[in-house]
Amino acid sequence: MKTFRAVIWILLIFDTRVELNELNVHKMIFSGNYSKDARPKRNATEALSVYLNLVISSIHDVDEKYQSISIRTILDIQWKDEFLTWNPDDFDGVKSITVPGDKIWVPDILMQDTFLSIFNSVEKNGRAILKYDGHATIWPGGLFKVACKISVKKFPFDKQTCPLDFLSWTRPSTSIRLKNSNTEWRPQDHSILEKGEWYLQNVRIINQTKIFEGVKWDHVLFLIDVKRKPLFHVVNVIIPVMLISILDVMCFVLPSESGERVGLSISIFLTLTVFLSAVTSTLPESSDELAVFSLFLGLQVLGSALSVIMTNISLFLYFKDKQETLSLMAMYLVKLFFMENKCRNVTWHTVSRALDRLCLVFAAIWHTVLISSFLIAVYQ
């Protein structure tokens, strides 16, 4: 029992000494003429290296209409403050401390093309880790909403690339060398919360130097590759449209005597129009390119409208007076789509059936070409 109490007292004394030594470190490094407004570089002619890394927490939203992406991220900003150093041997081996972020010099990192307020690298009540050699690290984070040109050409099998462009707000390359330590992005150990329709595919990192009014500025560009999950659109739009196109072909198989052909063709036309309206409402209102799927649906609507027209013409011929003389074109149409031995007693009924066969062939070819072209366009 006495041994146990002795161990407890030793641990308490050691912990107190550590806390006192950390307090002494704080007093020592901030007791001089340290200014958080001065760039922490002893040689004023040399640029200070600042390293910027990105940790993605979640893909919040991809807005096709307003051409933007919202991503919740945490930045890892590291640099070396040459004025905040100490010897660990003088403080019982204390090699790192935490300090308020607004108490030390912090690089003013800005993200371009943001829709929200200007990003501030110094968070309120934020903390920084400071090592004995002056190496400082902060982790500001938040929801970043930036402009991103959305390409809808291959909707819903599209992939978008959205840039997160960071630079120093007031210090050019001669003062701060802003860069990423590794241009190859590695997936985080934690799972990334993704919106149901999108998932993170890759992140590419580019270190750039841009010239503005004759002055060089360092940029760290994170290219976020996100890909749409097409299952929802495939199940709820693409497959129904393809099935409806089959029904559109079947309009010319239904007998004229049934009296349902016009109603069926008009219903198919209206259904395709509703699908076209639903798809276009999810796409950008002003776009430099046309979505292949919108074009596919538009041509399907055009084919359905032609089916309505040809169905009415066929019914008009079917109920025409049998005694009326047949034209040469009608005779040629019958000979083309009927066997020769069935052309002896040609009537307008026969002409109507021949026209139905002609429309059936063309409708089958039309929809087959459309579906094939759509699949080739989105997967090439």
Instruction: Check pLDDT > 50 for residue 71.
Output: yes
In whole angstroms, what is the distance from residue 201 CA to residue 127 CA? Answer: 32
The mean-pLDDT minimum among 3-12, 45-54, 171-180, 209-218 falls in 3-12
Assess whether 284 and 296 both reside in one domain: yes
Query: Does 268 share its domain with 244?
Result: yes
Average pLDDT, the chain: 78
pLDDT (average), residues 273-281: 81
121 pLDDT more than 60? no
Same domain? For 54 and 175 the reply is yes
Is the same domain home to 217 and 306?
no
- Count of residues making up the chain: 380
Which of 60, 76, 106 is closest to 205 using CA atoms? 76
Single pTM value for the model: 0.74
Among 200, 228, 256, which residue terminates a domain?
Answer: 228
Domain membership of residue 167 as a residue range: 38-78+102-128+136-228
Residues 257 and 118 in one domain: no
Tokens of 89: 């041997």
pLDDT at 168: 86
Task: Write the CB contacts of 184 (distance below 8 Å, at least 6 apart in sequence).
Answer: 205
Mean pLDDT of 36-61: 85
Residues 195, 201: Cα–Cα separation, whole Å:
13
Question: How far apart are alpha carbons 194 and 8 in whole angstroms?
Answer: 48
* Inside any domain, residue 252: yes
Which pLDDT band, with edges at 50, 70 and 90, does 120 fall under?
Answer: low
236 and 224 in one domain? no
Q: How confident is the model over 120-128, as a mean pLDDT?
A: 66
Q: Are residues 303 and 204 in the same domain?
A: no
Q: Give the C-alpha separation, 171 to 173, whole Å.
A: 7
Identify whether residues 74 and 147 lie together within a single domain.
yes
Let me know if residue 94 belongs to a domain.
no
Please check whether residue 84 lies inside any domain of the structure.
no
* 42 and 191 fall within a common domain: yes
Band the pLDDT of 313: cuts 50, 70, 90.
confident
**Domain count of the fold of the chain:** 2
DSSP labels for 230-245?
THHHIIIIIHHHHHHH
Cβ neighbours for 76, distance < 8 A, ≥ 6 positions apart: 51, 52, 53, 54, 55, 137, 139
Residue 67 shares a structural domain with residue 182: yes
* pLDDT of 49 strictly over 80: yes
Rg of the chain taking only CA atoms, in angstroms: 36
Instruction: Note whether 291 and 181 are same-domain residues.
Output: no
Residue 5 has pLDDT above 60, yes or no: no
Phi then psi dihedrals of residue 227, to 5 deg: -125, 140
Residue 180 lies in a domain: yes
Q: What pLDDT does residue 199 have?
A: 84
**Which pLDDT band holds residue 321 (cuts at 50, 70, 90)?**
low
Q: What is the CATH number of the domain that holds 49?
A: 2.70.170.10
Asked if the structure places residue 365 within a domain, the reply is: yes
Where among 180, 210, 228 does a domain terminate?
228
- The whole-number average pLDDT for the span 221-243 is 87
pLDDT digit string, tens, across residues 252-275: 887 777 777 888 888 888 888 888
Whether residue 195 lies inside any domain: the answer is yes
Is 322 found in the same domain as 218? Answer: no
Q: What percent of the chain has pLDDT over 70?
A: 79
CATH of the domain at 270: 1.20.58.390
